[in-house]
Amino acid sequence: MRLDFIDLGKLSISKTNMRYAKKAPDVSDILPTVRARGVLVPLIVRPNCAEGDYEIVAGARRFTAACMVAGEKGEAEPLPCAILEEGDDAAALEASLIENVARRDADEVTQWETYTRLVREGRSVADLADTFGMPEPMVKRILALGNLLPRIRSLYAKEKISSGTVRHLTMASKGQQRAWLALFDDPQTYCPQGQQLKGWLFGGGAIRAEHALFDVEASGLAIIADLFGDERYFGDSDVFWTAQLAAVEERRLAFLDEGWSDVVVLPKGDYFRSWEFRQVPKRKGGRVYVEVRDTGEIDIYTGYVTAKEAARLDKGEKIEAAPKTARPELTARTQTYVDLHRHAAVRAALTGHPAVALRLMVAHAVAGSPLWNVKIEPQSAKDDDVRESVEVCRAETVFDEKRRAVLALLAFDAEEPSVTGGNPMPLAALFQRLLDLPDRAVMDVIAIVMGETLFAGSAAVEAVGLHIGLDMAKWWSADDAFLEGLRDKEVLTALVAEVGGAEVAAANAKEKGATLKTIIRDHLEGTNGRTKIEGWVPKWMSFPPAAYTARGGVGTVTTHGELTVPEAEDEPQREAA
């Protein structure tokens, strides 16, 4: 680079200049200074195709201001210039962006345009981060603007939408972006932006029927529709994904048959980062990339290679093609035919082998499958002392010992917090292991899995406790967390009567709640001269439960009321022969 003074008439703005445009840039802020003192900071230029001419890669605003001043004065002074080597587009782009970002904030869309051109020139994300002194995530965020429709980028450049809105839209599919623009253009319709837009794009777990690659009607999958039939959703997302991924595989094979070198199906939820790829034709080794979104949408990008591979192509080198996938022996239709007939035969035969069916069911409950979704009771509570009380109680200690024994029985990791879903062993392998276990051992596994997935507070808990004849006094004793939650004075007085007798309750009926709790605690611990009560359990926790008042609001009592006790039927009499 060398310094020189160049006549105004020999200068023009380069297309590599980030401020290159048909419309002249705004120079109102620097024009007074240029009028008074001229251009003091050199422009960055490089030789143009015409002899003695130069193009400006950085300093377009100073050049524009100098031209305006020359028009006012009727004469032009040469401008100080730093001259780059000829032909280095990437260096020119970098100089332009560094200069302009340092002097006046460039909007992110303008930076994106320059970054994109630099990527095409062979610069990596790391190179851009080092050159412009910013973290790589920030460079990636700017490059991600390439995922937007041009109109959305234009709205952002004009500050019609916020940066938060744009960040969420970069993760949206083209279909979602078009739908959002329709809302934006309709003044009568609410258009989500910012955090509300995130919920609009990703908040729901329901999958729209229109995203299916397969024939929805022929699939037989359950569909939920609104009253007008305008919006339809799949009733079971797990079943949808089984069919959708099968359809993706069919598309993959079809692309390979068309002669594409490879078809890359991205992991579900991963995004195709367009700035890391270059588009090339099929004959040069272009691949197909398939983007599988959590919403169920499938976006397909045809004819791309990585930026490094594109650089090799520019040098005339060839890129190694992925091994060509052999044509499957069976078509998808025949494979479906075979699968369904074998399935029908297996389940019919399974009806004659209940012990095998039992083990298969246990394997499904533990390992899960696309058709099985078993959840563990989280035992969650808002208050720390309540959670701790449950964690250290005798019942949890005993259950954890039994669980560890089952983990060892199944050869699972002893530190797994649960048997259900707690080990990566495939379903079929687990089933084969269960086949080798005696019935008693399989029953032990069932007991743990059922305990882990039993819904707290449900009628099932009530029914099991009643059937077993559960004595809560063997498993529970009052602690501080229990007493802390008691607030109702009428209830506290009733509890005092239970542990201390009616006379003690009557004598302290006008005392504060804290005093009544102290009396209860003294009787349970046998302190302060109170008679110790062993094995006391409040009515709410017993099987069956009961209430202390007629006001209601006791969940266990309500749940107990849901149970239907079967009426005793007369034993059928045998007819005489």
How does pLDDT run across 355-365, given as a tens digit for each residue?
999 999 999 99
pTM for the model stands at 0.47
pLDDT at 132 over 70: no
Around Cβ 526, how many Cβ atoms within 10 Å?
A: 12
CA distance 519 to 350: 61
Radius of gyration, CA atoms only, the chain: 37
> Phi and psi dihedrals of 439, rounded to 5?
-55, -40
CB of 46 within 8 A of CB of 73? no
Structure confidence at residue 402 as a pLDDT band (50, 70, 90): very high
3-state secondary structure of 248: helix
Residue positions counted in the chain: 577
Say which DSSP state 372 is in. B
In the 3-class helix/strand/coil scheme, how is 491-541 assigned residue by residue? HHHHHHHHHHCHHHHHHCCCCCHHHHHHHHHHHHHCCCCCCCCCCCCCHHH
Q: How confident is the model at residue 574 (pLDDT cuts 50, 70, 90)?
A: very low
Cα dist from 496 to 539, 548, 556, whole Å: 13, 12, 21
Give residue 317's pLDDT.
81
Measured distance CA(363)–CA(96) in Å, rounded: 63
Q: Which residues of 452-465 are buried (b: 16+ CB within 10 A; e: fewer)?
A: bbeeeeeeebbbeb
Q: How far, rounded to the nearest angstrom, does the alpha carbon of residue 361 sit from its chain's CA centroid?
A: 30
Q: Is the pLDDT of residue 167 over 90?
A: no
For residues 115-128, average pLDDT: 77
Helix (H, G, I), strand (E, B) or coil at 264: strand
Residue 476 has pLDDT above 80, yes or no: yes
For the cut 50, the answer to whether the pLDDT of residue 375 exceeds it is yes
298 pLDDT band, cuts 50/70/90, is: very high
What one-letter code names the amino acid at 451?
G
> Which pLDDT band holds residue 435 (cuts at 50, 70, 90)?
very high
Q: What is the mean pLDDT of residues 315-329?
A: 70
Cβ within 8 Å of residue 490, ≥6 positions away: 548, 549
**Crossing angle (nearest 10°) for helices 513-525 and 489-500:** 30
202 versus 419: the higher-pLDDT residue is 419
| Cβ-contact 172, 165 below 8 angstroms | no
- Residue 240, both tokens: 């949808």
Residues 6+ apart with CB under 8 A from 411: 433
CA distance 572 to 473: 40
Q: Is the peptide bond before 544 cis (omega within 30 degrees of 0)?
A: yes
Q: Which residues pair with 223 in a beta bridge?
A: 234
- Write down the pLDDT at residue 72: 87
**CB-based contacts of 332, cutoff 8 Å, min separation 6:** 246, 249, 250, 253
Which pLDDT score is estimated for 369?
A: 83
**Using an 8 Å Cβ cutoff, are 123 and 141 in contact?**
no
pLDDT at 248 over 90: yes
Predicted confidence (pLDDT) per residue in 18-27, tens digit? 666 667 778 8
Residues of the chain with CATH 3.90.1530.10: 2-196
Q: Kindly state the average pLDDT of the residues 165-192.
A: 84
Mean pLDDT of 477-490: 90
**pLDDT for the residue numbered 345:** 92
Sorting pLDDT into bands at 50, 70 and 90, what band is 568?
Answer: very low
pLDDT at 112 over 80: no
Query: Which is more confident, 3 or 434?
Result: 434
The single-letter DSSP state of residue 229 is S
DSSP β-bridge partners for residue 234: 223
SS3 sequence of 161-210: CCHHHHHHHCCCCHHHHHHHHHHHHCCCCCCCCCHHHHHHHHCCCCCEHH
Mean pLDDT (the chain) is 83
Lowest mean pLDDT among 125-129, 150-154, 417-421, 495-499: 125-129
What distances in angstroms separate CA 310 from CA 129, 284, 315, 321, one per listed residue? Answer: 21, 10, 9, 13
Residue 352 or 131, more confident: 352
Burial 326-353 (b: 16+ CB within 10 A, else e): eeeeeeeeeeeeeeeeeeeeeeeeeeee
Contact 199, 229 (CB under 8 A): no
pLDDT at 472 over 90: yes
Fold of 2-196: 3.90.1530
pLDDT value at residue 538: 93
